[in-house]
């Protein structure tokens, strides 16, 4: 370390403190300091007094300066030995910022001064670390292409960013052309623009991931449909092959039945033919004997030898009568039946094809992912609620199967139970019949018919006899959005013209969030975060439950609450449409 420090100081001894370069024609002042002859002469010419730039010693008259030949010879000798040349590690290479002061070969710049618009190596940076007015200059890491960082009009560093013109300017530009514009430092502009770019990158990444998931889901759906198509086509081939095989089997069975039927029908006439053929043979034999006997002319011999056939009478059998059957054949019946089968099969095939082509039936349905967070909530967390008439304030009238109510103080609503009244006494509120102690739920309410209204949820143990001059808040177990900008409720609009027509109420019990959406504009109007839904268990209740061996729970039920405040104000729980 000592050697390195000594080497550095020895190199600095050969630099002029005015030009920060190796001495050229070194001269020595009476106070003993060395300068370039031209540098000290120009310095005294521009100064009203003759002083030493380093020790500030004043001279009565300008000293006569002569070149310090001994010191110059030492410098020339050192330069010839390259003792002042940079080492390989110090020399500026490709990609490095060279020192603007060094001669060739140049040192690597250590810092860049934005005021001087120059880069300095470790040797030439020393004045900026020692001289008081130079220490005030702003130093940065070495910057390449300083020409592009300098204002071409004023020759100053571009240190400011104009918000209006979205361009980099110098201080003089800021005072002249951009005097009425808002300009910030490059550091602030860089941070803001970089943060904005990173935010956009995060948004684009999230959108890309969502679209990629959607593409994967749709592709998976397409592959499933293709596999189903292949299975359906294979089933059609199988079923029709089975149908053809079945028809061929029925055809063979019908042929066998027809053949057996004709075989049975022909058995009797064939037997009769056999008998007739035998009788014809007998007749032919007897006729032959008679013809032989007829040839005898001798009377005695003829009479003595006459054949027995003359003695035996000829038996006459009754002849069966068979007629040619020219009536309907089995082929006609088969033809008629097959024609009917063809008509029936054609009708059934038409119905089947129509069913397959029916868009409402077996059309390929492509799943379309939700376009925003509200649609996701509408598709997955919608509940069907009705109003509880027993909880309604006396001035609220319930209509439309428990979906619709109106504020009408001239027609007070009469509760159905006087023994255990559960209705609100002070606030014109009504609860839903169902409460929730877990999960997520969402509902939509049409508020276009009310000038002043309130929506939200309350805990099961909410005090319905509570009398306040303002709306209850979370400290009372109520999380309410209202047009009344007072009390514990949330005001829903920032502008009097931004009145919604339909409001969605979404509760995530596990995350302890209550959110309110403008359904038509699909924006989040307001929300409660990190709510305290749970309630402490009373000591007496806990003790009684422990006695009977039943576990107690501090998860309170949340009931949707609805309110109206002016005459004829009405609210309606509407069905949720998540199709748009």
Q: What is the mean pLDDT of the chain?
A: 79
Q: Distance between CA atoms of 577 and 566, rounded to whole angstroms? A: 29
pLDDT (tens digit per residue) in 277-336 = 988 898 888 888 888 878 888 777 777 776 665 555 555 565 556 555 555 567 777 888
Last residue of a domain, one of 46, 64, 84: 84
| 230 domain-assigned | yes
Asked whether the predicted pLDDT for residue 488 surpasses 70, the reply is no
Question: In terms of domains, do 302 and 431 share one?
Answer: no
pLDDT (tens digit per residue) in 543-565 = 666 666 655 566 888 999 999 98
Residue 385: pLDDT band with limits 50, 70, 90: very high
Question: In terms of domains, do 333 and 409 share one?
Answer: no
Last residue of a domain, one of 62, 84, 106: 84
pLDDT (tens digit per residue) in 102-119 = 777 778 888 888 777 788
Q: Distance between CA atoms of 53 and 88, rounded to whole angstroms? A: 34
**At 390, phi and psi to the nearest 5?**
-70, -20
- Percentages helix, strand, coil for the chain, rounded to the nearest 5? 40, 15, 45
Question: In terms of domains, do 423 and 349 share one?
Answer: no
| 468 domain-assigned | yes
Last residue of a domain, one of 84, 113, 137: 84
Asked whether the predicted pLDDT for residue 492 surpasses 60, the reply is no
Lookup result for tokens 């064939």: 270
Domain count, the chain: 3
Question: In terms of domains, do 526 and 553 share one?
Answer: yes
| 110 domain-assigned | no
> Which of 51-55, 124-128, 329-333, 506-510 is predicted least confidently?
329-333
Asked whether the predicted pLDDT for residue 275 surpasses 70, the reply is yes
Residue 359: pLDDT band with limits 50, 70, 90: low
Question: In terms of domains, do 203 and 317 share one?
Answer: yes
Residue 360: pLDDT band with limits 50, 70, 90: low
Q: Distance between CA atoms of 492 and 484, rounded to whole angstroms? A: 9
| DSSP 8-class letter at 568 | T
CATH number at residue 65: 3.30.40.10
CA neighbor of 145 nearest in space, from 98, 193, 189 = 98
Question: In terms of domains, do 346 and 388 share one?
Answer: no
Question: In terms of domains, do 338 and 457 share one?
Answer: no
pLDDT (tens digit per residue) in 387-399 = 998 888 888 888 8
Q: Distance between CA atoms of 240 and 340, rounded to whole angstroms? A: 19
Which structural domain range is residue 318 located in? 189-357
| 121 domain-assigned | no
Sheet of strand 111-113, all strands in order from the earlier edge strand to the far edge: 118-120, 111-113, 139-140
In 338-424, DSSP assigns E strands to 396-399, 404-407
Give me the half-sphere count of Cα atoms (radius 13 Å) on the Cβ side of residue 286: 14
| 464 domain-assigned | yes
| DSSP 8-class letter at 91 | B
Asked whether the predicted pLDDT for residue 353 surpasses 80, the reply is yes
Residue 234: pLDDT band with limits 50, 70, 90: very high
Return the percentage of the chain with pLDDT > 90, whole number: 12
| 566 domain-assigned | yes
Number of H helices, E strands in the chain: 12, 20
What H or E segment, with its residue span, contains residue 112? strand 111-113
> Which of 42-51, 151-160, 476-485 is predicted least confidently?
151-160
Residue 405: pLDDT band with limits 50, 70, 90: very high
Question: In terms of domains, do 455 and 521 share one?
Answer: yes
Q: 404-407 and 570-574 as β-strands: parallel, antiparallel, unpaired?
A: antiparallel
CA-CA-CA-CA dihedral for 185, 188, 191, 195, to nearest 10 = -120
Question: In terms of domains, do 404 and 349 share one?
Answer: no
| 315 domain-assigned | yes
pLDDT (tens digit per residue) in 122-170 = 778 878 888 888 888 878 788 777 666 777 777 677 778 888 788 888 8
Question: In terms of domains, do 525 and 415 share one?
Answer: yes
Question: What six digits make up the tokens of 362?
Answer: 């077996």
CA neighbor of 448 nearest in space, from 569, 561, 575 = 569
CATH number at residue 543: 2.60.120.920
Provide the CA 554 distance to its chain's centre, in angstroms.
Answer: 36
Asked whether the predicted pLDDT for residue 577 surpasses 70, the reply is yes
Q: Which residue has the higher pLDDT, 449 or 92?
A: 449
Q: Please write down the HEC assignment for all residues of 419-437.
A: CCCCCCCCCCEEEECCCEC
Count the Cβ atoms, other than its own, within 10 Å of residue 505: 21
| 550 domain-assigned | yes
CA neighbor of 439 nearest in space, from 383, 502, 522 = 383
Mean pLDDT score, 219-235: 89
């Amino acid at each position: 370390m000592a050697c390195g420090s000594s080497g550095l100081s020895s190199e600095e001894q050969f630099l002029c403190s005015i030009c920060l370069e190796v001495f050229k024609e070194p001269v020595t002042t009476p106070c003993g300091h060395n300068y370039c002859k031209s540098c000290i002469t120009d310095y005294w010419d521009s100064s009203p007094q003759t002083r030493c730039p380093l020790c500030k010693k004043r001279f009565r008259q300008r000293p006569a300066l002569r070149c310090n030949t001994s010191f110059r010879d030492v410098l020339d000798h050192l330069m010839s030995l390259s003792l002042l040349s940079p080492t390989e590690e110090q020399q500026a290479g490709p990609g490095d910022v060279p020192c603007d002061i060094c001669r060739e070969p140049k040192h690597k710049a250590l810092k860049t001064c934005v005021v001087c618009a120059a880069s300095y190596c470790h040797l030439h940076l020393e004045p900026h670390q020692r001289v008081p007015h130079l220490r005030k200059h702003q130093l940065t890491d070495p910057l390449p292409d300083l020409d592009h960082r300098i204002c071409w009009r004023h020759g100053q560093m571009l240190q400011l960013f104009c918000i209006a013109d979205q361009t980099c300017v110098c201080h003089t530009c800021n005072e002249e052309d951009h005097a009425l514009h808002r300009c910030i430092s490059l550091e602030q502009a860089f941070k803001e623009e970089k943060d904005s770019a990173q935010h956009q990158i995060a948004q684009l990444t999230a959108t890309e991931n969502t679209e990629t998931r959607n593409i994967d889901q749709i592709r998976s759906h397409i592959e499933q449909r293709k596999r189903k198509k292949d299975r359906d086509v294979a089933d059609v081939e199988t079923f029709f092959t089975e149908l053809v095989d079945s028809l061929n089997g029925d055809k063979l069975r019908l042929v066998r039945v027809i053949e057996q039927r004709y075989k049975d029908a022909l058995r009797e006439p064939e037997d009769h033919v056999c008998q007739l053929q035998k009788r014809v043979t007998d007749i032919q034999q007897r006729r032959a004997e008679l013809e032989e006997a007829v040839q005898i002319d001798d009377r005695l011999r003829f009479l003595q030898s006459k054949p027995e056939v003359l003695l035996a009478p000829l038996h006459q059998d009754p002849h069966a009568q068979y007629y040619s059957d020219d009536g309907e054949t089995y082929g006609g019946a088969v033809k008629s039946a097959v024609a009917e089968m063809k008509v029936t099969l054609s009708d059934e095939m038409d119905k089947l094809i129509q069913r397959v082509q029916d868009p409402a039936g077996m059309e390929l349905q492509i799943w379309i992912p939700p376009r925003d967070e509200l649609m996701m909530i509408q598709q997955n967390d919608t509940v069907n609620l009705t109003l509880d008439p027993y909880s309604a304030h006396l001035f609220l009238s319930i209509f439309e199967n428990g979906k619709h109510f109106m504020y009408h103080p001239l027609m007070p609503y009469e509760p159905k139970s006087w023994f255990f009244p559960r209705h609100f006494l002070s606030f014109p509120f009504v609860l839903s019949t169902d409460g929730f102690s877990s999960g997520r739920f969402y509902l939509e309410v049409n508020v276009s018919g009310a000038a002043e209204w309130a929506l939200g949820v309350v805990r099961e143990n909410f005090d319905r006899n509570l009398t306040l001059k303002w709306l209850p808040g979370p400290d009372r177990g109520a999380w309410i959005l209202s047009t009344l900008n007072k009390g514990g409720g949330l005001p829903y609009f920032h502008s009097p013209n931004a009145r919604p027509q339909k409001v969605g109420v979404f509760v995530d019990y596990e995350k302890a969030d209550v959110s309110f959406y403008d359904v038509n504009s699909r924006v989040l109007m307001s929300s409660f975060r990190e709510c305290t839904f749970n309630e402490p268990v009373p000591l007496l209740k806990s003790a009684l439950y422990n006695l009977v061996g039943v576990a107690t729970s501090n998860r309170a039920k949340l009931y949707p609450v609805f309110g109206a405040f002016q005459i004829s104000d009405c609210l309606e729980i509407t069905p949720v449409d998540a199709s748009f």
